[in-house]
Structure 1
Amino acid sequence: MALIVFSPGNLHALSVRLRILGGSGAFQYGPFNCGMQRRWKKPVDSARTRLEGRTRDHRLDKLMVQLRNLRLALALRELISQQRNGYASLQLLSKWRHEVGLNIDIGAFLKKYPHVFQIYMHPVKRNHCCKITQKMADLIVEEDAVIRENEIDIVQCLKKLLMLSTNGTLNMHALWLVRRELGLPDDYRSSILPRCQHDLYLESPDTLSLVSRDEKLAVAKIEEWRKKEYTEKWLAESETKYAFPISFPTGFKIEKGFREKLKNWQRLPYTKPYEKNDSHPIHNVERLEKRIVGILHELLSLTVEKMIPLERLSHFRRVFAMEVNLRELLLKHPGIFYISTKGSAQTVILRESYNKGCLIEPNRVHDVRTKMLDLILSGCCNIGEPESAAWVAEEYDQGSCHELQNIMCHVDTENSILELETDSDSYRKRHITEELPCQHFCDSQENSE
């Protein structure tokens, strides 16, 4: 047995250790206090911890990052379009970058997307300016034209939303926040609502009301899926009558007893989204939650891209009778919904509508927005001097090739600046030996004339 000698040095060291442990609040267990009860701190289980520990879908997260860059580009385009001449200086855009949520330098962001933004030197003010490229401008016009053509579908979508509400009304501000998700034009209040007063009307400046219900529209998207599953796959009616399509992300861990709970939940009856439950109120918590899941499923099905920001979704909690913690409810059903935290916002995505990060059933509005996203993903690819020089000739047509030489147009083509020579002698010499961008200018002007 070891002999412990309590010398003055050992006692001093022991006292120092005790003071350190007592000052830090730590309580060390040893051979003399091992019989004392040790209380373990219970781990926190909340919606935030479950959101951080969920199984992530990397394809959907990557898509949300790409869509965020597209939203920032469209926000900058909106600011530029508000200017009188259709362009804005970089100094002015740098003051607005925080308003659109841009946390990097405005010049670095614009240089990343030369297919969307054109940077040039103003011929008079001699400062760097920015405008939207012709490709992006054409896509914006095409998107607006497609939305105008879908006026009938827009009216049906608004009627379905009003039928989902408890009292047949919607707040106009909440509707304005999700106008892009629903595919509404910015001027829908003055362009669409006055032409469909027999279906919708403004009860007040802030409230949109439904004139009468249309039972033909009171069919949820999930009910069409159940009918298809029942007729094509010959499944039992008990398995599909109240079921939802389930698809878990890759790597999802199925715990013990999870399959049995999911099977029982799929068979649980509930009040469908377009059915009113005023005469038969729901007292079962699980049935109430399943009804809310059905309403959220139908709301996401009415959107263009089958997704909606969680913050904007909360504006419909009271009008759709969803008085629960929506984030907790969505996290309880990872096979139906997915919450992506990428793109500086929490976005709810309908999982069944996507396969490998792509929308399974795209629509015309989504196709145009996909073309816009392609311009964002193109980056600096396929950007060369001939294309930039042709743009300079089209933008600043002074009537002669020599006048174009006097304008120093700085075009961002992979961090290079196109400089046009002003010396007429060197120009004639190079005009004989090699093909110059100026030759393209003259050819384009002769063809236009």
Structure 2
Amino acid sequence: MASKLFSPKHLRVFSPRPQMLDEAFCYGPFNRSMQRRWKKPVDSARTRLEGRTRDHRLDKLMIQLKNLRLALDLHAVISQQRNGYASLQLLLRWRREIGAFLKKYPHIFEIYVHPVKRNHCCRITQKMADLVAEEDAVLRENESAVVQRLKKLLMMSTDGTLNMHALWLIRKELGLPDDYRSSMLPNHLSDFSLETPDTLTLITRDENLAVASVEEWRDKEYTEKWLAEYETKYAFPVNFPTGFKIEKGFREKLKNWQRLPYTKPYEKNDLHPITNAERLEKRIVGILHELLSSTVEKMLPLERLSHFRRPFLMEVNLRELLLKHPGIFYISTKGSKQTVLLRESYNKGCLVEPNPVYSVRRKMLELILAGCRGIVQTENAISLVEEDSQGSSHGSQNHTCQVDNMNSMSQFESDSSVESFS
């Protein structure tokens, strides 16, 4: 009987559970009755960013723009080659998983077999080359609009100066050409000066430009909706994403915040410094709103905003401030980086008021969205046509080249299937 009771089968029943042992070891024999400490949930900008209400249309747009940026980077690499094309071996060395990306967008990249070297090469299609040339031409034609944007940014700064490196980082967003320092600034010496190589200074201040873009919306609300002046004088357009949960008391807080007076972006507050924290935050919201409104596509990478904190007196945590106003700004984490977008400027993933530069870039994005649609010939058909055009007199040589091309193509497909850009 005793042998049956203390057998391994029955001892397994009387063995203490691991959870009980862990609790005994954690609290010990003398502090077993102590109460466990309750951990307060962390409330930070990172947790609020992860738990925010997402805008799926804008997130999808950022993924598409990421693919367009990669296509433009490939265009820059290929255009630097001497003959206007690059071998796939070179591109795979530049980025190993690029093969699947090239085959995914045949409206932008053309893969063919070189007639002499008999290796697979890639070149930019005529459609994409024409759009790149059109964008450069539009940037040159809209020089006056770009000059006004620079003036407005310099007028918002505390001393009328901005760092040239900060402007270089957002040159694409502002619609500046890459060589704006040598091609555009010398034509406006009466407006700008480069006293030091890394600082752009505003010479003449144009008060006609000292009007924020939100003022047009305020005038429209005041005249068309017959709202009181105190309700629209300091208000901002608010557009919450679908599925946004409105908590109790949120509407009243938003209404009071919309009526709160603040110092507008182009007004100086040296004589009357702001001491109220809410008014200071609202002034920074106005500066960010005007900065995003000055860009071509009404968006900026979040990390680039840190370069304008000191000249615009935005000494706060910008990400926390942006997350506190989800009806005005939206932070998208898609596209390999965090991007701030102006919500009022977009409707169904498209800009409400397009400009010439945006229209050209939208045409480039449409080539990305087209994918493989409308493409009849594949690269295998192209290689077969080129092999047939060599003639029957080089039969043995063509057979050897065909075997080599099949081996290289199989190696290319195995390398390109590592990662798919979607």
Question: Where on the TM-score scale, by shorter chain, does this alignment land: which range?
Answer: 0.7 to 0.9
Matched, 1:412 2:376: no
Q: Please report how far the alpha carbon of residue 360 of structure 1 lies from its aligned counterpart in structure 2 after TM superposition.
A: 0.5
Letter in 1 for 2:132: I
- Partner residue of 2:267 out of 270, 275, 281: 275
| Residue in 1 that maps onto 2:412 | none
Cα displacement string for residues 389-421 of structure 1 (whole angstroms, at most 9, x for unaligned residues): xxxxxxxxxxxxxxxxxxxxxx637x9744342
- Once residues 375 and 18 of structure 2 are traced to their aligned partners in structure 1, the CA distance between those partners, rounded to angstroms, is 70
Distance, in Å, in 2 between the alignment partners of 1:276 and 1:105 is 52
Matched, 1:152 2:154: no
Q: Any idea what the Cα deviations from partners look like across 1:322-351, whole Å, max 9, x if unmatched?
A: 011000000000000000000011000000
1:52 matched to 2:54? The reply is no
Higher mean alpha-carbon deviation, 125-134 vs 136-145, is at 125-134
Q: CA deviation at 1:19?
A: 3.5
Match of 1:182 in 2: 174
What does residue 39 of structure 1 align with?
37
Write out per-residue CA displacement over residues 110-152 of structure 1, whole angstroms, 9 at most, x where no aligned residue: 0001000111112222221111100000001111111111011
Which aligned pairs between 1:83-98 and structure 2 lie closer than 5 A? 83-97=81-95
Larger deviation, residues 8-17 vs 269-278: 8-17
CA deviation after TM superposition for structure 1 residue 14, in Å: 4.0
Q: Does 1:204 align with 2:196?
A: yes
Residues 113 and 383 in structure 2, CA contact (< 8 A), matched pair in contact too: no
Alignment counterpart, residue 143 of structure 1, candidates 135, 144, 158: 135
1:289-324 CA-partner distances (Å, limit 9, x unpaired): 000000000000000110010011111111111011
Distance in structure 1 (CA, Å) of the matches to 2:246 and 2:204: 46
Contact preservation (8 Å) 1:114, 1:412: no
**Which one-letter code corresponds to 1:115 in the other structure?**
H
For 1:169, give the aligned amino acid.
T
TM-score by length of 1: 0.81
The residue aligned with 1:64 is 62
Note the aligned Cα RMSD (angstroms): 2.4
In the alignment, the residues of structure 2 paired with residue 16 and residue 223 of structure 1 have an alpha-carbon distance, to the nearest angstrom, of 67
Partner in structure 1 of residue 117 of structure 2: 125
Match of 1:296 among 264, 277, 288: 288
Counterpart Cα distance in 1 of 2:194 and 2:28? 67
Partner of 1:192: 184
AA aligned opposite 1:148: R
Partner SS state of residue 92, structure 1: helix
Q: Structure 1 unaligned runs (5+)? A: 1-7, 98-103, 386-410, 426-449
Q: Distance in 2 between matches of 1:151 and 1:26?
A: 72
Distance in 1 separating the partners of 2:40 and 2:391: 82
Cα distance 1:382–1:41, how it changes in 2: closer, same or farther (>3 A)? same
Structure-to-structure mapping, 1:328-367, within 5 angstroms = 328-367=320-359
CA drift at 1:73: 0.2
Contact residue 298 and residue 342 of structure 2 kept, 8 A = yes
| Aligned residues with identical type, % of pairs | 74
Amino acid at match of 2:136: D
Corresponding pairs, count: 382
Secondary structure of the residue that 1:271 maps to in structure 2? coil
Show the counterpart of 1:398: none
- What is the SS of the residue equivalent to 2:172? helix
Structure 2, gaps ≥5 residues long: 1-9, 393-422
Query: 1:164: Cα distance to partner?
Result: 0.9
Tell me the SS of whatever aligns to 1:141.
helix
